[in-house]
A = this chain, B = another copy of it.
């Protein structure tokens, strides 16, 4: 069945390519060629090289970066050139070899320029000629999984990676080569290569997606080196007059090209919000940031008249700031949509991004502290500027603040809200779907404490570039579990994922930001609504970080309102990480786990234990990474509490066996999931002392909950009492509200208020 659907997809491409024909390509726009001097002039510039040479040996971080690169390249040169016939998926030998080749060529090109040593130029030259010999002989890659198979690699995406790096190497040795040599490389290798990933694979090239970003940039970079306007036009504006069936999908399940947009500028315009948030999420933004920024750098060097860094109110520079803010205290990116854990701003793409944003932006001194943590710089003009900035002591701490980043090219398709206070970082997702890498988890959240994930987003079900796990590609459990709603910390209705787990539906909708207010240290609030995940059901979640004492972490208040016209079952999972210490409720562990459901991700969860609420608050206390946490939740009598674990129907051990706690409310139209999560204590295995191992919360209760207001009272062990009131119908920060609860009249201005009941 799998191969059948693959054949169907292939047949569609053939049909599509037939529809489109070469002669439809428009006449290239003529650019005024402002080649500032001769090569290199793409990323490294001649002026830059002169300046770098002048400062060699005087700027520690630049010198050490150079030293590392030199060692790496020298080692590769020693190992000898190898350009194997392509054979493997990611992680496999030929894949990794070609990848290593392009990375090394790019670096060797730079070394040739900086160190003036022909060894490096010859290395690049020889390798390029090996490729020029091999490439014309290659059919498409033997591995068939991709909707757009490459030649060197199993997908055009990786072929594009190759060209992005190789174009830089070519630029660096351009003048080292004879005209005749250049002619051979361009005719035998570069132009056919660029054509293959563009006009021969329009389903890959002509779309708005991180794939086509790489494709456009690959073609565009090489176009700039070769001064080829036809290719440059194609790169910037897409293949013109191409008709792609708007219902076609790629193998991640995403639409190929629903709106007919294509080319670098469309890829820049569309997925970035005015705040610089990239709709696929930070993991893919990181991936796309290298081509976006490196090509922008090249355009700025060669086509300054395009003012690419000013495009869309400087969205590229903003995007770097947005991305850095979407990382935890350790610099690891938050997991929104498909994302692998551990990816951080220490990755090389972010070294380039930070250097470019500093050099071409407003030289924000906070970026220097990130560069210093990265402990290396790019070996080019931008990297030199950063290195000199660090040497001059200009750096300032990059302080990540609470921030709401809008989604959608117009900034009106929801947002992601990040609340930060003390050690806690809460990520609250109320975005659009995020293209083909989107997960079905509206109004979900994740929590980090001191850089450690405490309430987790599962991330993707994939081991990127680890060949033995499904060729290093997406595993089937990514679709059947990781993308499903139940894999996330948000409400599931009737065991069906948001938007029925259908990309076609999900991609039409987005959540709506409601309130984001993070100026006060005492209370920070993010609130959002989702009306389309389920028809006839409205979801409204408000999350707040409330500081109760000066030197302790704030509590996380979570008010999740569900309103429906039908009676439903609602599940709210909490993917806590760590070991259960204590619960206030009695649970029965099953003798052997049972599978929790049959589809929508439930088939991957084991039910381990079960409890039925007596209607009181439940408390769930656990230990993770030597910190104590307690989740206190309001429950109704007969709510089910399910202690579950990931891992069922996982024949290949593709999933992690992580636990979760599910509160289930049955047979009700409306539901209120109300909870407080505390990070209250620490444990030291060295001193064996447990500090504040217990919750400080005595009680949480709801005093009022209707379309207008939700009022929540909570009482601490020390008898401090607070009242939090949220307006559910007006987010206006200036409006005055009045509400009487238990004969007491409360009056306040703005969408919410926090009242101290003890005074």
Chain A residues within CB distance 8 Å of chain B: 91, 96, 99, 340-344, 346-348, 463-469, 472, 579-582, 589, 591-595, 606, 621, 623, 626, 645, 648-653, 656-657, 659, 683, 685-690, 693-694
Of the residues B465, B659, B687, B693, contact of A688 by C-beta under 8 Å: B465
The reply to whether B648 and A592 form a contact with Cβ atoms under 8 Å apart is: yes
Chain B residues with CB under 8 Å of A348's CB are 687
Residues of B within 8 A of A693 (CB): 91, 466-468
- Tell me the complex Cα distance, A656–B622, Å: 13
Contact for A344 among B594, B623, B649, B686, CB less than 8 A: B686
Least CB distance, A196 to chain B, in whole angstroms: 25
Inter-chain contact B466/A581, CB cutoff 8 Å:
yes
A689 CB contacts on chain B under 8 angstroms: 96, 99, 465
* B464 near A341: Cβ-Cβ < 8 Å: no
Q: Which B residues are CB-close (under 8 A) to A580?
A: 652-653
A195 CB to nearest B CB, Å = 28
Cβ–Cβ contact B651 & A589, under 8 A: yes
Q: B466 touching A690 by the CB < 8 A rule?
A: yes
Q: How far is the CB of A126 from chain B (nearest CB, A)?
A: 24
Cα of A683 to Cα of B581 in the assembled complex, Å: 33
Residues of B within 8 A of A623 (CB): 463, 466
Closest to A626 in B: B342
Q: What is the CB-to-nearest-CB distance from A158 to chain B, in angstroms, rounded to a whole number?
A: 12
Using Cβ atoms and an 8 Å threshold, which residues of chain B touch A592? 592-595, 606, 648
With A342-B685, A592-B594, A592-B595 as given contacts, are A690 and B465 in contact (CB-CB < 8 Å)?
A: yes
Residue of B at shortest CB range from A681? B466
Residues of chain B with a CB closer than 8 A to A463's CB: 581, 623
B342, B652, B653, B688: which contacts A340 (Cβ < 8 A)?
B688
Copies of this subunit: 2
CA distance A686 to B464 in the complex (A): 11
The distance in angstroms between the C-alpha atoms of A694 and B88, with both chains bound, is 14
Q: Do A579 and B686 touch across chains, with their CB atoms under 8 A apart?
A: no
Chain B residues with CB below 8 A from A96, complex form: 689-690
Residues of B within 8 A of A340 (CB): 685, 688
Minimum CB–CB distance for A278 against chain B, Å: 18
A581 contacts which of B468, B581, B594, B648 (Cβ < 8 Å)?
A: B468
Tell me whether B621 and A582 are in contact (CB under 8 A). Answer: no
Question: Which residue of chain B is the closest to A331 with respect to CB atoms?
Answer: B686
Q: Which residues of B contact A579 (CB under 8 A)?
A: 653, 656
Other-chain residue from B582, B648, B657, B694 in contact with A645 (beta carbon distance below 8 A):
B657
Give the docked Cα–Cα distance between A651 and B611 (Å). 13
Q: Are A469 and B686 touching (Cβ within 8 A)?
A: no
Instruction: Compute how far the CA of A347 lies from the CA of B649 in the bound complex, rounded to whole angstroms.
Output: 44
Give the chain B neighbours of A659 by CB distance below 8 A: 657
| Contacting pair A686 B589 (CB below 8 A) | no
Q: Report whether A469 and B581 are in contact in the complex, using a CB–CB cutoff of 8 Å.
A: yes
| Distance between Cα atoms of A341 and B626 in the complex (Å) | 12
Q: Which 8 A-B pairs have the closest CB atoms?
A: A342-B685, A468-B582, A580-B653, A347-B686, A464-B688, A468-B581, A589-B651, A466-B690
A649 to B348, CA, bound (A): 47
Q: Complex Cα distance A582/B475, Å? A: 14
Chain B nearest CB from A619 CB (Å) reads: 11
Question: In the complex, what residues of B have CB within 8 A of residue A688's CB?
Answer: 340, 343, 464-465
The residue of chain B having its C-beta at the shortest distance from the C-beta of A581 within the complex is B468
For residue A468, which residues in chain B have a CB less than 8 angstroms away from its CB?
Answer: 581-582, 621, 693-694
Whole-angstrom CA separation of A463 from B593 in the bound complex? 25
**A618 CB, nearest partner CB in chain B, Å:** 15
Chain B residues lying within 8 Å of A347, measured Cβ to Cβ, are 686-687
The minimal Cβ–Cβ distance linking A687 to chain B, given in whole angstroms, is 7
Contact among B344, B466, B591, B653 with A683 in the assembled complex (CB-CB below 8 Å) = B466
Nearest CB of chain B from residue A592's CB, rounded to whole Å: 6
In whole angstroms, how far apart are the Cα atoms of A340 and B694 in the complex? Answer: 21
Structural contact, A686 and B466, CB atoms closer than 8 A: no
Q: Which residues of B contact A651 (CB under 8 A)?
A: 589
A594 to B465 alpha-carbon distance, docked (Å): 34
Closest CB in chain B relative to A694 CB, distance in Å:
7
Chain B's nearest CB lies how many Å from the CB of A406? 28
Q: List 25 A-B contacts (CB under 8 A).
A: A91-B690, A91-B693, A99-B689, A340-B685, A341-B685, A342-B626, A342-B686, A343-B686, A344-B685, A344-B686, A348-B687, A463-B623, A466-B623, A466-B693, A467-B693, A468-B621, A469-B581, A472-B690, A580-B653, A589-B650, A589-B653, A591-B649, A593-B593, A645-B657, A657-B657
